[in-house]
Amino acid sequence: MKNNTPKISIIVVNYNGLKFLEDCFTSLTQTDWPKEALEVICVDNGSTDGSQEYLKKNFPDVAVLDHQPNNYAAANNAGIKRASGDYVILLNNDVKMDPGWLRPLAAAMELNPRLGGVQPKLLYFDGMIQSLGHIKSPDFYWTDRGMGEPDLGQYGDALMEADSLCGACAMYRRECLDQAGRLDEDFNMFVEDVDFGVRCLDHGWPLACQPQSRVHHLFHGSIAGESRARLLIESNRLLLIAKHWPDKLAENLTGRGFFLQPDPEKQRAFIPAASKACGKLLTEHPPEKARRILDDVFIKLAQALDPQKDALVRKAMLHQKEAARELEVQKERARLDLRDVESRLYAEIDRLRDLVIQREEELRLLRESLSYRYVLKPVQKAADRVKGALPRTQNAPPPSPALPRIVSMKFTNNCQLKCRMCGIWSQEKEAELPGEQWRKAIDKVFHWLGPYRLDIAGGEPLLRPDNDELTAYASALGVETVLLSNGALITKARARKLLDSGLDSIHISLDSLNPEVHDRMRGKAGTFAKATKALKHLQELRRYRSKDFSIGVAAIVMAPNVEELPALAEFVYRGGADFISFQALDQNFHDKYDPQWFASNPYWIKDLDALNRSMDKLRAMKLRGAPIDNSLAQLQAVKRYFADPQNFCRRFQCLSGEKNFIIKNNGDVLLCWNLPPVGNILHDAPERIWQSSEAKKRREQIAACTRTCRILSCHVTEEALQNA
């Protein structure tokens, strides 16, 4: 089976950075990513402090390359040449990561196949923001978005575009690296990341920052002094302009006056920096164009170095410094005022949140009290009088059933697919309630239960034209709406309508990451592509929605996919969805029951070793925090179910009659999909149906039933599975 986890190569360039290596490489070894899919390469630029020896002794899995001469960009290129990953990360040696830093970056790349590169939110070690990606300014200076600001969540968690990525930590797609080329070694260190970002954009590869990934960076830890770093940035800025915008070189030669400040070191550096820029001009552009531009450059140089103008320039710069200082004072005052406002605002938000929680708890207690006083208690007393308060037998339902946990409404019985494990598509078309009657049904249940969870099922609910309007109607009442869909009809426009309807959650069927297997099980070619596109559309659009919205994947456990169940969970873990739920294969609800149905079912799992391996991996993944919706007991129960379905299922009682309230497309109310209706929502109040003699009879039938469908997670308690 193909491993769907992308391989990631991490390249760390080091020069006499021994003091940083322990923190950096220890955090790399603790990164939450499969070890077989992670390659770490350290390119050492001729260190003399014992760095290479330290790495080889303490981190033997790290590939150490000895690189000469000391050139940062060239060292990165050597690492890229050695790297074999689908994605390549360029990482400074003074960076420290949390274990979960890598998954949001990889998820962003996997979900956006045209994204060339992505960086995390870079923070200083005091928690202040260092970079959320580079932003270009009109005078060819690139600034780090958010630098120096406190991290208050003001930039959100959604992907944000960037003009280039900060070289301290940036992930690039291999195809982007191959098309845009390697780092320009003329830059050596600083601005080489901006140059590469310009080339990525020129080749049609957008760049972004993923704020959900956070790393801490010392900043200039590998270079002595802030002034030295600034000097290199200013010099390499001229190289960048000469390379990409040569006609702008002359007018931007002195930049923001850095080289003209009353500092001998900066003044001495001006001529070499300008000379390098002129050399870049000659190597990057045709001679005729270069000569024309050089004429303008020399004129500008002469003006900049004119001693008669030196005093005026210095005076102007002094005024500029004083103005800048005053501006900083004003900014600091504004910052302090803003922090005070933010502090008071957050305190008020916390107070209101606590008040809402308190009121919700009071309402819940009041609802339970009223329900018990006016519904459950009178019914229980009446039942006790009729039955003489006799103790119920083991299989008998309780005298007064608790309220249902889930209400399912089957807006339509139609489906456009022909799933092998579901025969609903082979049934004759049935009448469907019009929208107005469905709205009345939604109202009736709301007046009975208050806010409830509504599972919108089918068939395929999205075949019904007014599905989104019915969802919006229920959501407006405060009903929690959950859509169960095969995903094949969710275009980007339909995804937007679903989100606009107020839908709370969607479960999309995905049985395999192999398109051929998924399409075969769903009975129609192209279904896999449509379902995965639906997931991407929903992921992309929900970032613009204020209300929480969860995206789930639902997978049937069966023979064709038994060995790739962990890969499905890994897909979700990497950001394909918020959670995944697994459901064991069962007999088609629409077929006549056969106690030995599984013996002839081609999708029944006979390779129990493969099943046990997959279930054990899923249990281990869940313990590590993977978003698997099933409990550990449910995953263990799947193993025992396939080993001996009939005997295992007899060990616990089905609770469908106590948990579910199902309304079919024609208004019939069911407590179990396999048994006749207990009423019709058009003619009776739901609370009367729930407590009717027909419902009681149906619960007795369910208690005595031996069908294997009780393995369904919603039909059995956690305690029963653990004790079975």
Is the pLDDT at 382 greater than 70? The verdict is no
How many helices (H) and strands (E) the chain has is answered by 24, 21
Biggest CA-to-CA distance, the chain: 114
Average pLDDT, the chain: 84
pTM tops 0.75, yes or no: no
Is the pLDDT at 1 greater than 60? The verdict is no
Is the pLDDT at 127 greater than 90? The verdict is no
**pLDDT for residue 306:** 58
Give per-residue pLDDT as tens, 582-603.
999 988 766 677 888 888 899 9
Is the pLDDT at 407 greater than 50? The verdict is yes
Is the pLDDT at 686 greater than 80? The verdict is yes
Is the pLDDT at 192 greater than 80? The verdict is yes
Is the pLDDT at 395 greater than 50? The verdict is no
Cβ–Cβ under 8 Å, residues 484 and 461: yes
Task: Please compute the mean of the pLDDT values over residues 341-350 and round it to a whole number.
Answer: 66
Identify the weakest region by mean pLDDT among 322-326, 453-457, 635-639: 322-326
**pLDDT for residue 441:** 96
- pLDDT higher for 158 or 529? 529
Cβ–Cβ under 8 Å, residues 554 and 484: yes
Share of the chain above pLDDT 70, in %: 80
Pairing of strands 134-136, 142-144: antiparallel
**pLDDT for residue 154:** 82
Is the pLDDT at 666 greater than 80? The verdict is yes
Identify the weakest region by mean pLDDT among 119-133, 198-212, 413-427: 413-427
Identify the weakest region by mean pLDDT among 244-253, 332-341, 383-392, 585-594: 383-392
Task: Please compute the mean of the pLDDT values over residues 661-682 and round it to a whole number.
Answer: 94
Q: Which helix (H) or strand (E) holds 136?
A: strand 134-136
d(CA 180, CA 166): 17
**pLDDT for residue 687:** 95
Is the pLDDT at 312 greater than 60? The verdict is no
* CA–CA distances in Å: residue 518 to residues 442, 468, 514: 34, 27, 6
Is the pLDDT at 436 greater than 90? The verdict is yes
Is the pLDDT at 639 greater than 80? The verdict is yes
Give per-residue pLDDT as tens, 142-191.
889 998 888 888 888 889 999 999 999 999 999 999 999 999 998 988 89
d(CA 512, CA 529): 11
Query: Cβ of 588: how many Cβ atoms within 10 Å?
Result: 16
Region of residue 266 (phi > 0: left; psi between -120 and 50: alpha; otherwise: beta): alpha
d(CA 568, CA 513): 7
Question: Which tokens hold the place of 597?
Answer: 């149905």
Query: Cβ of 371: how many Cβ atoms within 10 Å?
Result: 16
Residue of 223, 184, 241 lying closest to 93 (CA atoms): 223
**pLDDT for residue 469:** 95
Identify the weakest region by mean pLDDT among 245-259, 378-392, 560-574: 378-392
Pairing of strands 406-410, 660-663: parallel
Is the pLDDT at 377 greater than 60? The verdict is no
Residue of 532, 546, 619 lying closest to 576 (CA atoms): 532
**pLDDT for residue 397:** 43
Identify the weakest region by mean pLDDT among 387-396, 420-429, 604-613, 654-663: 387-396
d(CA 185, CA 639): 57
Give per-residue pLDDT as tens, 477-500.
999 999 999 999 999 999 999 999
Share of the chain above pLDDT 90, in %: 51
- pLDDT higher for 377 or 525? 525
**pLDDT for residue 398:** 45
Is the pLDDT at 346 greater than 80? The verdict is no
Q: State phi, psi for 437 to the nearest 5 degrees.
A: -70, -35
Q: What sign does the CA torsion over 576, 581, 585, 589 have?
A: negative
3-state helix, strand, coil in the chain (%, to 5): 50, 15, 35
d(CA 256, CA 233): 12
Is the pLDDT at 116 greater than 80? The verdict is yes
Is the pLDDT at 390 greater than 50? The verdict is no
> Distance between terminal CA atoms of the chain?
34
Is the pLDDT at 195 greater than 60? The verdict is yes
In order of their start, the domains of the chain are 8-217 (3.90.550.10), 241-305 (no CATH), 406-723 (3.20.20.70)
